[in-house]
Amino acid sequence: MERPQINIRISKELKEEFYTYCKRENLQPSALIRNWIEEAVEIDKAKNNGFNSNILFPRNII
């Protein structure tokens, strides 16, 4: 099964700190990010009785 990808740009320092955190906590970075996204979407669905991208992704951060 093919899984789509999301690519983001962050500073080298932030990436290193995140990977250090994940290693210390014995977490997979991609799994942690995937869980954050799934949780955000589920919270939005619960708040709005369905997905509402204007709530989850305000225009000022896109």
pLDDT tens, 4-44? 999 999 999 999 999 999 999 999 999 999 999 999 888 88
Q: Are 33 and 25 in contact (CB under 8 A)?
A: no
Give the pLDDT of residue 62: 45
- Nearest to 35, CA basis, from 26, 45, 46, 27: 27
What are the structural domain ranges in the chain?
A: 12-61
- Distance, in Å, from the CA atom of 62 to the CA atom of 47, rounded to the nearest integer, reads 21
Give the pLDDT of residue 41: 87
Would the pTM of this model clear 0.75, i.e. be above it? Answer: no
Give the pLDDT of residue 20: 97
pLDDT over threshold 80, residue 53: no
